[in-house]
Amino acid sequence: MSKIKLATVWLDGCSGCHMSLLDIDEHLALVAQKADIVYGPLVDAQEFPEGVDVTLIEGAIANQDDLKLAQTIRRRSRMVVALGDCAVTGNVPAMRNSIPVKQLLDRVYVQGVTTSPMIPTDGVPALLKRAVPVHEVVSVDLHVPGCPPSAAAILHVVSELLEGRKPDVASKTKFG
């Protein structure tokens, strides 16, 4: 039987959700028996591949690169999972949303900076007006709250998806 193609993606998050994924410890070996991890911080793929079965997205959509990648992920993934509160609600990245982008960048990169104050533009994707949860830009099949979701919850979700079943997320997770 061919293995399931699993991708994980780190957008505007702190990597805590990926750390929690790694906390499933020895169960990673069981996941690897059933799934090929084809994209994400855990592997070295440069481009998001076609024909992915399940993609776990950590983080909010905060800039143009996040937006483009989320749209590509949606086109190329059978199932998209928003993993963690940043992906589900915007959470920490969305705390900047009440401040206009220009004012925010001025405050961080210009005001009070004594050496070469300058807003970086080279190779830096433009920020969106607001950091938003994944479902505001593409459809999401499953929301897994938590900051981060516990390793046990992630293991439950991934194990059930790999078996082709719908995980019982509500009983395993909570916001925050």
**List of residues contacting ligand SF4 (CB under 6 A):** 13-14, 16-17, 58-59, 84-86, 91-92, 147-148
Q: Using an 8 Å Cβ cutoff, are 52 and 75 in contact?
A: no
Nearest approach in angstroms of CB 50 to ligand SF4 is: 27
Nearest approach in angstroms of CB 10 to ligand SF4 is: 8
Q: Which is nearer to ligand SF4, 40 or 59 (CB)?
A: 59
Q: Which is nearer to ligand SF4, 54 or 83 (CB)?
A: 83
Nearest approach in angstroms of CB 66 to ligand SF4 is: 13
Output the CA angle 128-75-146, nearest 5 degrees: 60
Nearest approach in angstroms of CB 153 to ligand SF4 is: 12
Q: Which is nearer to ligand SF4, 86 or 132 (CB)?
A: 86
Residue 93 CB neighbour total at 10 angstroms: 23
Nearest approach in angstroms of CB 147 to ligand SF4 is: 3
State the sign of the Cα–Cα–Cα–Cα dihedral 47, 161, 70, 95.
negative
* Residue closest to 56 by CA, chosen among 13, 94, 92: 13
Q: Which is nearer to ligand SF4, 148 or 167 (CB)?
A: 148
Q: Which is nearer to ligand SF4, 4 or 169 (CB)?
A: 169
48: which 2 tokens? Answer: 């998001």
DSSP 15-83: SHHHHHHHTTTTHHHHHHHHEEEEESTTS--SSPPSSEEEEEEESBEEEHHHHHHHHHHHHHEEEEEEE
